[in-house]
Amino acid sequence: MADYDLIVVGGGPAGYVGAIRAGQLGKKVACIEMDRAGGTCLNWGCIPTKSLLKNAEVYQLIRHHAADFGIKVEGLSYDWEKVIGRSRKVADRLAGGIEMLFKKNKIDYIRGEAAITKAGVVEVTDKDGKKSEYKGAKILVATGVVTREMPGFPFNGKSVISSKQAMVLAEQPKDIIIVGAGAIGVEFAYFFNSFGTKVTLVEMLPNILPIEDTEVSATLEKSLAKQGIRILAGTKVEKAETTNKGVRLTVSGKANETIEAAIALVAIGVSPLMPHGAKLETDAKGWLKTDENYETSVPGIYGAGDIIGPPWLAHVASFEAVQAVEGMFAGKKPRRGGVFPGCTYCQPQVASVGLTERAAKEKGLAFKIGKFPFMASGKAQAVGESEGFVKLVIGEKHGEILGAHILGADATEMIAELGLAITMEATYEELAATIHAHPTLSEAVHEAAHASQGRAIHF
């Protein structure tokens, strides 16, 4: 008999969530993690970066807007070590919480590096080099991804760094070049700039946050530039090298020049982290191939989360893991894909769900746009957060919500309503008929629904 009903390889948002769900279903489960429970998201990504960004937001608010609120501040300063230290404490606290959840759900938490030697068998090498073998009726691969290096410009932990290394810099850099303006690149650009580091953000594609709605990206670019970030979108790195003083990058496109800085943060994407030993089928880009049940090419071995390809989002990973586990043990037909939100936590924040206006046009859909600016929102004015807007993409024939895009304060909290609206196939009429509390920022959603029909009251 197998030692376990399920062995989960990887303890990130897919792995630990899948393990807990299987435990809830009464299964005997082991979760193997070579770093710490929570994976990259909790320990080196989503959670600690939000801590850093909150520090930056508070500092910026006091520095630039204290007087707006009638508050006088003298001798304002910050402690870089404590800025970094707070984020580590938050991550450590939550990682410990996941370990407690493992105990609560009777999940064996095994630390070490896993190798899938064959179907149903996982070999674990601990920190001392000792090997142990475990048998599982089913295996869930949730090993995630690693940060991708720029060819010919490898990470050295000093002048060329990844996002993980950026979170624990002992000293604040005087200047930094960030290559890649996806969510990670933009968030770090906002963070470092907020504390006075000179930031140059380089993006090969025409817009920062290229997967977002073009209008949102363009408006955010103007906002970040106004804050002091130099943005070179539509710009390619032709040559990158380290120097005695830091790094030197030669770029072409929007700018044709050579840029120097103390540090280069490379945020150009991720690569799959496949477990050792497993001879599992992958696609052309190396992502683990799974069928509609999340099962790989080897019967009994499943995959979920970042390892099976984009979108590389923690909430999608958790969703996939639950679907896979319930398909294995609860007799449910797993769901694939679906509606998921995307969020970027700079200030102003960006959040979206569903189709962009660009995608709707490419699909040849007939649609209307409903848009409401926060400058016309009473709550936004009251709290001093009037930058940005809510934008809805609405099907012309039936009035269904095809996509929603928010740029502004608390956008990442507001997007959930619109994700539910799309999931429930709600129309603009149903959004407009839902009474939103006053005064709230979410009233902008209500007004945007009315605006799609030319009936916005406050704009």
Residue 100 CB: number of other CB atoms within 10 A? 10
Check if 64 is active-site: no
Tokens of 419: 């994700």
Closest CA to 377 of 314, 451, 324, 307: 451
Closest CA to 336 of 327, 328, 344, 346: 327
Angle between helices 46-65 and 80-104 (to 10 degrees): 140
Residue 75 CB: number of other CB atoms within 10 A? 4
Distance CA 148, CA 184 (A): 13
Distance CA 240, CA 391 (A): 39
Catalytic residue among 64, 65, 276, 438: 438
Helix H segments across 45-144?
46-65, 80-104
**Are the CB atoms for 266 and 153 separated by under 8 Å?**
yes
Residue 146 CB: number of other CB atoms within 10 A? 14
Closest CA to 169 of 276, 265, 258, 42: 265
Beta strands in 103-189 (DSSP E): 107-111, 113-118, 121-125, 131-141, 145-147, 160-161, 175-179
With b meaning 16 or more CB within 10 Å and e meaning fewer, what string describes 241-277? eeeeebbbbebebeeeeebebbbbbbbbebebbbbee
Strand partners, 270: 147
Q: What is the largest CA-CA distance in the chain?
A: 70
| Residues forming the active site | 438
